[in-house]
Amino acid sequence: MRRGFSLVERLVVIGIILTLAGILFPVLASARRAGQRVVCLNNVRQLQVAFTLYLDDHNEQFPSTGNNFLWQGRPWRAVLNDYVSTKSCYWCPVDSTSRLMYDSTSYAYLQTFYHKPTDISAALCGGYYTCTAPAEAQSLGDVTYPASKILIYEWYTNHDTQQQTMWAPVGTHMAVFVDGHAQLLHEEALNLNVLGTRDPNWTVGGVAGKDVE
């Protein structure tokens, strides 16, 4: 007659399963987070390509619609819609806040590209940390340090445990630079801006300045 598993044997099997689960679940979760970071990285690279195509069509002038709040996701994405292959590139897959509140737009187009450096340097700051001077498109030729000037920056620290805004003094954000390279940046690695914070919307020297060394 065939004998079934004893209680002790069953408990041993359950113990092995639980041990394996304890090992595998963190590994799988880490792999999932890494995959989401790759998607976010690819998003900002696609957006940088879209900006390059826009510049080619507009005499190397960065987008400016006259809207001082263009840096916020919903206004500027309309400018680039014709240059992206899929609108999903506007959204980081771990950004639950922007998906619900900001038309699935996780990234900011920095206002230094549509305000004169003198206006940025004068720290003419209004509501929502937005420059109050008249918007004016800046030229690609005015970018002195393309490898150190951020073009697109993630709104929130979506890749940290605690979500912070881009003007918080800590956290990590995905960023793409004018020269096309992209990376996950610790806020502490950014240079201080004209407001004395590390928000790259207020780069010292504006479009001609550096966000990182």
Q: What is the mean pLDDT of each run of 10 residues along the chain (213 residues)?
A: 61 68 58 76 95 97 96 89 93 83 88 96 85 96 98 88 83 94 93 94 96 96
Which of 76, 55, 198 lies closest to 138 in space, CA to CA? 55
- Does 47 fall in a domain? yes
81, with CB counted inside 10 A (0-12, 13-18, 19+), is exposed
For residue 84, give its domain range.
7-208
Cα 30 to Cα 25, 35, 91, 190, distances in angstroms: 8, 9, 20, 26
| Per-residue confidence (pLDDT) for residue 179, from 0 to 100 | 97
How many domains is the chain partitioned into structurally? 1
Q: What is the pLDDT of residue 2?
A: 55
- The CA distance from 35 to 197, in Å, is 31
CA contacts within 13 A on the Cβ side of 90: 23
188, part of any domain: yes
Give residue 157's pLDDT.
83
Token pair belonging to 133: 């001077």
> Is residue 139 included in any domain, yes or no?
yes
